């Protein structure tokens, strides 16, 4: 197993919220771009594409995408669906990790059957045309975040972050420690222990009241 594969496996094991807690500067997409299928999650490098009410470029992007990657689709505010069951089926066949559309998709019934993680602003039954080649693997802005080809995409029910691979990996140990501590907190609370006593809440609030630097900590 290569080092990069090991890192991707570790990233898949943590929640996006834990990564965001470990590094609060990680770029998070507009929460309106959300998981179309609840309970799905994905991690992978971005293959970027632009489709404005025309999905011809999706064919090119799918051909360019490698297994494990995520199609990141900018629509420049288009109002037509640019991805659906056929593209999700081909993406799954090629081993892609998922599709992110800063716009609309369709064929929700088919998407449920396929199970590939798809993130979008919503659905629309009307699709665009197939006359504009669009652009593939150039920087795009989606959900308020500038995305470069190869940036790491991480998404789950809480939302999406997209950032340079090195920045996300740097947050990984902190995210893993946060999840370890939270599991311990939940276990202690299940035994009837008080959340406040399991953290440094009282000391933290007292320090803030005195104007001292402080950070909330765990006792587990």
Helices 85-93 and 56-64, packing angle to 10 deg: 10
With the C-alpha atoms ordered 133, 82, 161, 88, is the resulting torsion angle positive or negative?
A: negative
Tokens of 204: 């933290």
pLDDT of residue 220: 87
Candidates 3.50.30.40, 3.40.50.720, 1.10.490.10, 3.20.20.70; CATH matching 3-165: 3.50.30.40
* Structural domain spans, the chain: 3-165, 171-209
Residue 207: predicted pLDDT: 96
Report pLDDT for 1.
56
Tens of pLDDT, residue by residue, the chain (220 residues): 588 999 999 999 999 999 999 999 999 999 999 999 999 999 999 999 999 999 999 999 999 999 999 999 999 999 999 999 999 999 999 999 999 999 999 999 999 999 999 999 999 999 999 999 888 999 999 999 999 999 999 999 999 999 999 999 999 999 999 999 999 999 999 999 999 999 999 999 999 999 999 999 999 8
Q: Are 86 and 59 in contact (CB under 8 A)?
A: no
């Amino acid at each position: 197993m290569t080092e990069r594969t090991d890192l991707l496996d570790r990233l898949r094991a943590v929640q996006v919220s834990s990564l965001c807690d470990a590094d609060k500067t990680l770029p998070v997409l507009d929460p309106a771009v959300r998981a179309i299928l609840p309970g799905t999650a994905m991690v992978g490098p971005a293959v970027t594409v632009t489709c404005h009410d025309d999905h011809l470029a999706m064919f090119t992007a799918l051909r360019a995408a490698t297994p494990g990657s995520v199609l990141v689709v900018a629509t420049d505010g288009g109002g037509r669906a640019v991805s659906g069951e056929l593209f999700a089926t081909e993406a799954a066949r090629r081993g892609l990790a998922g599709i992110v559309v800063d716009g609309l998709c369709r064929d929700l019934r088919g998407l449920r059957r396929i199970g590939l993680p798809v993130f979008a602003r919503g659905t629309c039954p009307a699709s665009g045309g197939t006359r504009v080649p669009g652009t593939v693997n150039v920087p795009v802005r989606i959900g308020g975040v500038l995305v470069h080809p190869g940036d790491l995409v991480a998404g789950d029910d809480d939302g999406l972050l997209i950032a340079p691979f090195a920045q996300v990996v740097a947050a990984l140990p902190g995210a893993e420690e946060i999840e370890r501590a939270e599991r311990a907190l939940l276990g202690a609370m299940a035994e009837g222990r008080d959340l406040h006593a399991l953290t440094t809440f009282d000391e933290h609030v007292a320090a803030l009241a005195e104007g001292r630097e402080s950070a909330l900590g765990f006792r587990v």
